[in-house]
Structure 1
């Protein structure tokens, strides 16, 4: 640098980077990105209201692609004041930043790949809104959480009632959607009616005035004394039984679930002169007893993640609901043969329980999975496992998952015709009556008859 006519000059030279080219994002929006090696994409966003917002990545065009990303949030366009940073969500290489923004203030975001590889990913901004609930016909709204409702830019609504970090129970219409930490989605229909109203400043859930919980208003637990009465009626003494049966329920069930089935299976064994002890039914994933139905989606999301975790492992997981099946079998064992019967996710627990019982030196006569997902089975376990599904094969749960070895016996069970596959799935053990080949029967009778060749 020279002065005029080659004279001396004293000056300060400032060299700065020009601000990046920012893409403007709107509230509750997303964009699918192709990011080159060592490239960053830049965004700016002006908060329309004060509150928490979520800046996150997920699968490109929701096609299931996994991309390792980094998201950074800044307060200035020169990207010198970093407010928050996310490399990985828990158990996921996607990124998520949740931060409280001020209305009218502009914020800046960079999205890049972790490492130097080119990636495809989806970047989205969603607001967190207050979540309210009220009963239909009433005017009073009750605040559930100050920022526990979150809109998805592609149509769904996330209800995060317990601040879940990796499972998001979202609702769209009369369906709930569970998103795991890797942004995979599973959809199910809800078995009860409620309305979801979305406003600019809040989300409102309207529930029926008297939500019904499954079939019974009162919890049902078979007491030990009643079990002994049943057992004595079928000549089972305190020290010796021909059979010990453990029943395991799946998700979103209450204590009355096996109420119809228990006397039927005890009487069935008695009819062939065999004694049996039926353990109190177990609920490996919890019960719905006393739980308001508006909280069912949250319970379901947690239960479903537990079932997916257990059903998807080819080896026995370190943490397994099978311990509850094992403990129930050991507590009630009086000699003879052990039969484990599980519905839906309870069928997964029963398989895990059989593995644990075998490790403890017990022999399991048969595992019966009713309306359960497929799961990895060793060859020896597959040889004494019966897999049961409705005869029309409309129960979608029985189509999920994968087998390493197929159960040796796959049985189609006649059930009362239902329009909704969820109702088919939920009622294998119920007393719903229907006519089959000119004879009146029930779902529970048909389920028992279909499994009988495996458990007698």
Structure 2
């Protein structure tokens, strides 16, 4: 691993999914970075396209995403998106930095695969956030550090269809030694459905008509992420060290 002098407390890798526009995640990344900066935490955001953006041949992207999902279900390493993201982070990471991985759609599968590989190398992972992701097996050491978000359109109550793909299931043995399928064996512990306007491509919209109860989809998504991060001990300690949370405030909470 290449080691540089640390300049940020946290590096956020935001990964895109299938056939995504090059600027699709820019506003989300900027708004999230602003939250960290307001909390006094230095942060750098890297937006990555592990399967290429919408200019790359879609058939190749689908083939690679399918391969990564299959390998994940069979506990094998990624050959494509997860592998690409792992290399990017390994080449880029500075000593002492914490990582937050956020993926949309198939990019969230790559994020899980990269986080699992990096943890095996001893790289500290603050958390992984999956947004509108196909279901993929979460390694046991990551389950408490993963937040899984899907969405329901508040206008017609239709759910994002992409999270129906894939599986969290696995075989378990009963106390009598009989094998049975458990559909939630490898599911993330933390899961939440967001009230949004629109569907799979709309979690990061920040304008009309993507507003529900005075909050844009982007605001709803970021607020949910921030609330979850505030429950992570490592994140709270980091903010404390920066002087934005006092012991007295902690006791009051």
Superposition TM-score tier, normalisation by shorter sequence = 0.7 to 0.9
Other-structure match for 1:302: 60
Q: CA deviation at 1:334?
A: 5.5
Residue segments in structure 1 that go unaligned for 5+ positions in a row: 1-237, 292-298, 419-423
Match of 1:265 in 2: 32
**What secondary structure sits across from 1:372 in the alignment?**
coil
Say whether residues 1:328 and 2:93 are aligned partners: no
- If each structure's helix is expressed as a fraction of its own residues, which one has the higher value? 2
Aligned 8 A contact 2:12 2:100 in 1: yes
- Structure 1 counterpart of 2:212: 436
Q: Which runs of 5+ in 2 are unaligned?
A: 169-184, 231-253
Between the aligned partners of 1:445 and 1:275, the Cα distance in structure 2 is 21
Corresponding residue to 1:455 among 224, 229, 233: 229
Q: Deviations over 1:163-196 (max 9, x none)?
A: xxxxxxxxxxxxxxxxxxxxxxxxxxxxxxxxxx
Measure, in 2, the Cα distance between the counterparts of 1:342 and 1:242: 20
* Deviation of 1:307 (Å): 1.6
- 1:64-94 deviation digits (Å, cap 9, x = unpaired): xxxxxxxxxxxxxxxxxxxxxxxxxxxxxxx
CA contact (8 A) 1:377 1:405 kept: yes
| 1:393–1:412 contact (8 Å) kept in structure 2 | no
Aligned partner of 1:413 in structure 2 is 194
Superposition map of 1:356-371 within 5 A: 356-371=117-132
Tell me the distance in 1 between the aligned counterparts of 2:134 and 2:113: 13
Does 1:284 find its partner at 2:60? no
CA distance in 2, matches of 1:318, 1:275: 31
Q: Offset of 1:376 from its aligned partner? A: 1.6
Matched, 1:338 2:99: yes
How far off its partner does 1:332 sit? 4.3
Once the 2 structures are TM-superposed, how far is the Cα of residue 396 of structure 1 from its aligned partner?
0.6
Q: What's the CA shift string for 1:304-360, capped at 9, x where partnerless?
A: 232222123331336132122223333044633210000000000001110221132
Match of 2:243 in 1: none
For residues 273-329 of structure 1, give each alpha carbon's deviation from its aligned partner in whole angstroms, at most 9, with x where no partner exists.
2111112x111111124x7xxxxxxx3333223222212333133613212222333
Q: Output the aligned Cα RMSD.
A: 2.2
User: Using the alignment, how far apart are the partners of 1:243 and 1:349 within structure 2?
Assistant: 19
1:353-403 Cα deviation digits (max 9, x unpaired) = 102211322021111110010012222222211110003461110111111
**DSSP 3-state at the match of 2:48:** coil
User: Contact 2:78–2:113 at 8 Å: present in 1 too?
Assistant: no
